[in-house]
Structure 1
Amino acid sequence: MTPDYWADRTVMVTGGLGFVGSHVVEELLGRGARVLCLYRTDRPEVRAELPATEALSTVCVDILDYDALLAAAETVPHVDAVINCATLDGNMEFLLEHSGRMFDENVRMVSNVLQMARHCKTQDVVLISSAEIYSYESEEPMREEDDHRRHMEFSPNGYRMSKMFTEIAADLHREQFGMRIYTPRPTNVYGPRDDFGTTTNHVIPNMLMKLASGEDVEIWGDGSQTRTFIHVNDLVRAILCMVQSAEHKTLNIGTPESISIRDLAHLLAAATGRTNGVRFDLDKPVGAARRALDLERFHSVVDFTPRSLKSGIADTVQWYQKNLQRVR
């Protein structure tokens, strides 16, 4: 049997107690890696869900502090790979009020991770990007080539602009320093341990919180606009496949299964046992009618079939209901 690519490698995961980061940590440990999990905010409830093993080391560090980040890296003999899951995000109100801060902190985190990786001669660097980098105006499935090299546009959204910087920084560091840097671009991510706080901008947690509290889900427009989603476990597996294959430095990550926002709300209502709970505000803006990714590269790289949205929703609702008091 061929050994797993990640077995016996030491991998630093920044934001390792966050939504995506904790699943990266869990998957890597399951594959025999040694994981250096960095976090800024402790989440004991997430720690409790991670495997208890000597292969996992956790260090509280703010990666905005480069010296602290480098000191954390030097607690292990060598960092073979780093997967940056640390990011500052929030709902639309937070975006509008803190856009400058969001851009600044996300840019500095990426810059520090790249500088640390150069210093430590780290072989593989993953900077999780986003499908947000693509133009909002295109309704065709967006290919990896349809990025800042072809269409660069300003946005008052500091999170979106910081992801564009991530991509540009990756390009420049690959060219000048010959670094192996991967920038996966996921569509909307959902699943257990998502942010169910009041400042979340993720549509599925927002809807779940409304339904669980007995409130109606408000949909802007008629809900016919379509979106695609990827379960967090499938995102993590795809990222690891991407690095192992080393075939593509950028990769769209999603599924071909699109769903209207209206049908998504009804699917979540059914999964939570609600017979109604969806209403529409036809006077509100609806955004792009369709946002989808071209997945040709994705299907050539991954070695698994992502789960269906219905299956992933059931998994997420089960976790949410089990942890309802805590996430509230």
Structure 2
Amino acid sequence: MKTALVTGAWGFVGRHMTHALRERGWDVATCDLANPEHPVDALDVFAHADRVFDLVVHAAALAPHRAAIDRRPANMAYNLQLDAAMFDWALRSGQRRVLYLSSSAVYPIGFQDGAEPWALHETNTDSAHGIMPDAGYGWTKLTGEKMAAAAVEDGIGLAVHVVRPFSGYGEDQGEDWPFGAFIGRARRREDPFQIWGDGSQVRDWIHISDVVAGALAVVDADVREPVNLCTGRGVSMHDLARMICRETGYDPFLEFLVHAPTGVAYRVGDPDRLHGIYRPRVTLEEGVARAVRAAVTA
């Protein structure tokens, strides 16, 4: 039986990744301080564990949502510590394969100002000038990718797969993220319906099942270069809110909180590299319908 360790297993991506691996028949160990029944700090695992896994999925990160990215810069230090400790442990303990959950936040914000719709390609981080990722979180993930490259260079037989999820969403996403917040507001039939920013911010929404399946397809195909987990389709916050409200069956007044954290204007990925190994299967319309149905029955 194949074995895996999933860090951050209590988080949105981590718990779906854990479920998917177990569905495949893997023996999965997990760690997460947020687990109320069995809190385990990933840093403790990296300091003491010597078990070798077939796959280490590193999804642990402290509060990777917009409010924290903009308002809690100190999280950067902890997330860097997590990544450094993980790669050090992977080399020291002889791990075979690591799946590193990076982020679309690594891309230069100059490509995302909305002046020109730009499909972000994996090579857009390679420029020698003008690299300015999205806030401290983007710098953290870009540094994590550099750590991954160094670990591969220093290690003997260590494979590292880097994936860059765009705006992942799903039925059980928390309200710290826009999609989860919109579903919660619709479930409560809030009127006015609040949207951070002016609603024009465009994102590439990809269902969590496709995030997980795409990431595991990267591992299965043994792709050793970064891969976007995206759809290539951009939908604004305003249009997403309207889509969710229509599916819920009400028509609230939309209130735009222009002074709230908003992030970049336009973030859409180029899915060509992903399409070589996997194509997302859940459309945004179907994902919205699933989430609304789940909210009604909750």
- What SS is found at the alignment partner of 1:86? coil
Range moving further from structure 2, 221-230 or 9-18 = 221-230
Equivalent residue, structure 1, for 2:42: 63
Identity %, equivalent residues? 25
Q: Alpha-carbon deviation of 1:271?
A: 2.1
Give yes or no for the alignment of 1:162 onto 2:162. Answer: no
Instruction: List aligned pairs for 1:23-172, cutoff 5 A.
Output: 23-43=16-36, 60-65=39-44, 68-74=45-51, 78-89=52-63, 91-100=65-74, 102-138=75-111, 139-147=117-125, 150-151=128-129, 153-154=131-132, 157-172=135-150
* TM-score normalised over the length of structure 2: 0.87
Q: Alpha-carbon deviation of 1:35?
A: 0.5
Q: Alpha-carbon deviation of 1:148?
A: 5.0
- What SS is found at the alignment partner of 2:146? helix
Equivalent residue, structure 1, for 2:252: 276
State the AA in 1 paired with 2:285. Answer: K
Distance (Å, rounded) in 2 between the aligned partners of 1:13 and 1:287:
28
Distance (Å, rounded) in 2 between the aligned partners of 1:152 and 1:32:
45
Q: Alpha-carbon deviation of 1:269?
A: 0.7
Gaps of 5+ in 2: 112-116
Q: Are the structure 2 counterparts of residues 285 and 209 from structure 1 closer, same or farther at C-alpha, using a change threshold of 3 Å?
A: closer
User: Of 156, 178, 182, which aligns to 1:207?
Assistant: 182
Gaps of 5+ in 1: 1-7, 45-58, 324-328
Q: Alpha-carbon deviation of 1:316?
A: 2.0
Distance (Å, rounded) in 1 between the aligned partners of 2:47 and 2:256:
50
State the AA in 2 paired with 1:176. Answer: D
Equivalent residue, structure 1, for 2:114: none
State the AA in 1 paired with 2:165. Answer: P
* TM-score normalised over the length of structure 1: 0.80
Q: How many residues align?
A: 291
Give yes or no for the alignment of 1:12 onto 2:36. Answer: no
Give yes or no for the alignment of 1:319 onto 2:294. Answer: yes
Give yes or no for the alignment of 1:194 onto 2:166. Answer: no
- Could you give the per-residue CA deviations for residues 27-84 of structure 1, whole angstroms, max 9, x where no partner exists? 101111110111212256xxxxxxxxxxxxxx6321233xx4354453xxx3111001
Equivalent residue, structure 2, for 1:300: 276
Give yes or no for the alignment of 1:239 onto 2:218. Answer: no
Distance (Å, rounded) in 1 between the aligned partners of 2:76 and 2:287:
31
Equivalent residue, structure 1, for 2:151: 173
- What SS is found at the alignment partner of 1:60? coil
- What SS is found at the alignment partner of 1:145? helix
State the AA in 2 paired with 1:299. Answer: H
For the aligned residues, what is the CA RMSD? 2.5
Distance (Å, rounded) in 2 between the aligned partners of 1:321 and 1:134:
37
Equivalent residue, structure 2, for 1:264: 240
Q: Are the structure 2 counterparts of residues 268 and 73 from structure 1 closer, same or farther at C-alpha, using a change threshold of 3 Å?
A: farther
State the AA in 2 paired with 1:251. Answer: V
Distance (Å, rounded) in 2 between the aligned partners of 1:27 and 1:162:
27
Distance (Å, rounded) in 1 between the aligned partners of 2:80 and 2:260:
32
Distance (Å, rounded) in 2 between the aligned partners of 1:288 and 1:237:
27
Conservation of the 8 A alpha-carbon contact between 2:66 and 2:262: no
State the AA in 2 paired with 1:276. Answer: P
- Could you give the per-residue CA deviations for residues 150-176 of structure 1, whole angstroms, max 9, x where no partner exists? 456456832222111111111211222
Give yes or no for the alignment of 1:229 onto 2:218. Answer: no
Range moving further from structure 2, 145-154 or 245-254 = 145-154
Conservation of the 8 A alpha-carbon contact between 2:6 and 2:29: yes
